[in-house]
A and B are shown apart, each in its own frame.
Chain A
């Protein structure tokens, strides 16, 4: 009786612990080499803040900008999505790559248009 339970417990435990390995093996997440951030960066120009800050905190800037525009009616162009687009023109080559990789789904693009670089129009994605 107790041995059966032990097998059951170890099975659950094993499935939970091993599932990421299995999923990664099936879907080929490991083979691609994860160390490289696969985004297309503009060849020239400088971002409004340094790279490290932007990687971690860009959503703060966008949110502050949103609050300023929506609540206070102050529209500036410094930290807006539109200003991003001047250098990072295609969403699927910039924003989406990282967001898909870490599994974050920003709400920006549910309303805001940001060209994806794909030819056909699939609506919101």
Chain B
């Protein structure tokens, strides 16, 4: 019964996640850009814009320029997220490829550090949100909710690694069963079920939340526009019939 409902819920969450993101990306793609508004100093050619986006996405350059403390928290968290996701690959592929095995061997040795790197920035960013007057003023429930959700995911993950361990074989069997469309029963470890539930909540919530910044950043007109308004005139899409 538990397994059936979780398998159903998992597929439901994945469908919402994938189609939600596709819909949002489609929405971002078709929305017109009426104005040329690159944030200066802006690159004047395409390669420059690509470089700008790379720095923006990989190192959060504009956040670095505006607030070093927030940047530190954000950067640490995103780095930890990347590493944590990379170490989860081993649950999705079978047999585990050699490069991932090597990566895993390295990550295993620093796993406690990575766990801390994941949840400490979340606590820090939460405190910042409550502490700094301006930030508290503009914060709504959704801002806190995402931080708490990610914190609980990290906490349950760490608990699973160090305190109440699930049977990893059962966990991997369950996940492989899900992605090969021949579902297996869910492991009975309560912490795993908690972790999994929180992930599903995250997946369902993702397309409707500010977490879409991961896709949205590519579409921000102040960053992705080339600074060439004189060389190439931008015509407002709904002015075309007039001109």
Contact = CB atoms under 8 A, between A and B. Distances in A.
B60 interface: no
Nearest to B96: A103
A20 B166 CA distance: 22
A55 B188 CA distance: 13
B108 A104 contact: yes
Contacts of B202: none
B28 A20 contact: no
Interface stretch (B115-123, B129-137, B138-146, B169-177): B169-177
Contact of A6 (B28, B91, B97, B165): B28
B89 interface: yes
Contacts of A67: none
Interface residues of A, number: 31
Contact of A1 (B22, B94, B224): B224
Interface string A35-71: 1010000000000000010011100000000000000
A2 B93 contact: no
B29 interface: yes
Interface string B21-32: 110011011110
Given A29-B93, A29-B94, A34-B184, A105 B104 contact: yes
Contacts of A20: 89, 92-93, 179
Interface string B151-177: 000000000000001111111110011
Contacts of B219: 2, 5-6
B78 interface: no
B119 to A, nearest CB: 22
Nearest to B179: A20
B218 A8 contact: yes
A108 interface: no
Contacts of A29: 93-95, 176
B29 A2 contact: yes
B104 A103 contact: yes
A27 B95 contact: yes
A56 B167 contact: yes
Contacts of B215: 9, 13
A18 to B, nearest CB: 10
A34 B173 contact: yes
A21 B179 contact: yes
A101 B93 contact: no
Given A55-B169, A56-B189, A9 B25 contact: yes
A9 B169 contact: no
Interface of B: 18, 21-22, 25-26, 28-31, 33, 89-97, 100-101, 104-105, 108, 165-173, 176-177, 179-180, 184, 189, 215, 218-219, 224
Interface of A: 1-3, 5-6, 8-10, 13, 17, 20-21, 23-24, 27, 29-30, 34-35, 37, 52, 55-57, 98, 100-105
27 contacts: A1-B33, A2-B29, A2-B30, A2-B31, A3-B29, A6-B28, A6-B29, A8-B218, A9-B25, A20-B179, A23-B97, A24-B180, A27-B94, A27-B95, A30-B176, A30-B180, A34-B94, A34-B173, A35-B177, A55-B169, A56-B166, A56-B189, A98-B169, A101-B96, A102-B90, A104-B168, A105-B101
